[in-house]
Structure 1
Amino acid sequence: MVRARSVERRAEILRATLEVIAERGYRGATLGAVAERVGLSQQGLLHYFPTKEAMLVAVLEERDQWDTGGGPRSDGGWRSELLCSLVEYNAMRPGVVQTFSALLGESVTEEHPAREFFTHRYTQVRASMTAMLRAEFGERLPGGLTPERAAPLLVATMDGLQYQWLLDPDAVDMPAAFQDFLRLLRPDAEQASRPESTDASDASDADSDPVHE
């Protein structure tokens, strides 16, 4: 019973941390602000997370658990339709996306506590996207790129769309834009969907031409 309460309290702290970071950014999110939001003293908060950095990494790890049920995968478990569902899901929770994006932007600075987390995460995500692209397209995508070269572009599209959507959600339909990008990877499918009128037209023209002996 005590352990269950502790787990529940920890989850509550992580949700509050997400909210505070979304409002103030990581540097402006103090332990005191998080503690106040969950009704704890700062000393009581340190019982669950000994440092602000430990709390930050726990928030980021928890966010990946929410998204994937186990974090980024490199086992080929992703499919493009699951990615579309994830983008649609993210469009319904701007606070979480804002927190993630703010921390990602801050993490490129030297000695930021989230830098190592994001560096490792991107290594895993690129491997996951490479496996997904190889499963759907084989060794070459329609544009001639290998899955390894296309994977960073796919990841950049997903994260870049989040920034544009956060800045101007009325102008950027994030789920629709991501689906448009995936269509660019399937020009053969688009071609196949067009009516094949060329042959019929050629045949008609041939019938109307006079026959010269």
Structure 2
Amino acid sequence: MDTGDTEQRGTAAEQRKGYAKGQARRQAIVDEALELFSRTGYRNSSMREIARRVGLTQSGLMHHFADKEELFAEVLHQRDETVRGAAGEPAEHTLIDQAGKVVAHNQSSRGLASLYAIVSAEASDPEHPLHDEFVDRYRSAADRAGDLLRRAQEAGEVRTDLDPDLAGRLISAVMDGIQLQWLLDESVDMVPLFEEFVRGYFLPSDAPEESPAAEA
């Protein structure tokens, strides 16, 4: 037996094991950061507290994430991936369907919903480190929604007399508004509220009644 090959295989296995362990620790950090950010916000959360929660020193935590902004970016990225998965592929669902599915998903994910509500409010301060990020997120979402609504108008799926650019902004405004009410009072059911908004504002008067979140 070639001892060199054996050593190489052993080293590769150890590297894979070490990588998997590192990824698990990294995810544990993200999970704890999500919980803390969603409870206390971005500004009031410290890397020291997150490190304590996962049993690391602050320098050990910074081996995985250089600073709080990088850690929050990963938390937000994972949140976005979860939301995209809930919405489904654009080719398979209309914009209204996707939005309805996201509303239903958010109602089952209080931590993520709370995180977004708290940090987006904090980011309204122009001096907040995430201010520009959230301005761009809302602007980009509105632009995409406006484009999709124009196509939906051409297909006869939504009213032709509404302004798609204004309506694109209204979708996220309504979603955020009812989400805040739900976070304050869990007796609020976001899904029928959003469905009522869709029925009353978007659908043509001759459209069959349909629940946009029924399949969520």
Q: TM-score, normalised by structure 2?
A: 0.78
Q: Equivalents in 2 of 1:80, 1:11: separation in Å? A: 32
Contact 2:153–2:160 (8 Å) recurs in 1: no
Matched residue, 2:82: 66
Map residues 129-140 of structure 1 onto 2, 5 A cutoff.
129-138=145-154
Q: 2:182 aligns with which of 149, 161, 165?
A: 165
Q: 1:116 to 1:7 in 2, by over 3 A?
A: farther
Are residues 69 and 21 of structure 1, via their aligned partners in 2, closer, same or farther at CA, if it must alter by over 3 Å? Answer: same
1:186-201 alignment to 2 at 5 Å? 186-189=203-206
Distance in 2, Cα, partners of 1:123 & 1:75: 22
CA contact (8 A) 1:57 1:114 kept: no
Structure 1 residues 4-153: aligned runs within 5 Å: 4-69=20-85, 79-138=95-154, 142=159, 144-153=161-170
User: How many residues are matched?
Assistant: 190
Bigger RCO (CA 8 Å, 6+ sep): 2
Aligned residue identity for 1:129: A
**Contact 1:74-1:129 within 8 A present in 2 as well:** no
Q: Distance in 1 between matches of 2:139 and 2:76?
A: 15
**Aligned-partner Cα distance in 2 for 1:75–1:187:** 22
> Partner amino acid for 1:66?
T
- One-letter code of the match for 1:57? A
Counterpart CA distance in 1 for 2:41 and 2:166 is: 33
2:179 partner letter: Q
Q: Is the 8 A contact 2:86 2:102 kept in 1?
A: no
Q: Pairwise CA RMSD of aligned residues? A: 2.7
Secondary structure in 1 matching 2:71: helix
- Cα offset, 1:124, TM superposition: 2.0
1:100 Cα deviation (Å)?
0.9
**AA in 2 matched with 1:142:** R
Deviation at 1:110, TM superposition (A): 2.1
2:86–2:101 Cα contact (<8 Å) kept: no
Distance 1:37 1:14 in 2: 11
Q: How far is the alpha carbon of 1:77 from its aligned partner? A: 6.9
Give the corresponding residue for 2:195: 179
Q: Percent identity?
A: 31
Please state if 1:155 is matched with 2:163: no
2:121 and 2:186 map into 1 onto residues whose CA distance is 19
**TM-score (norm. length: structure 1):** 0.79
Q: 1:113 to 1:69 in 2, by over 3 A?
A: farther
Query: CA 1:104–1:75 in structure 2 vs 1: closer, same or farther (change >3 Å)?
Result: farther
Query: Given that residues 77 and 132 in structure 1 are in contact (C-alpha distance below 8 angstroms), is that contact kept between their aligned partners in structure 2?
Result: no
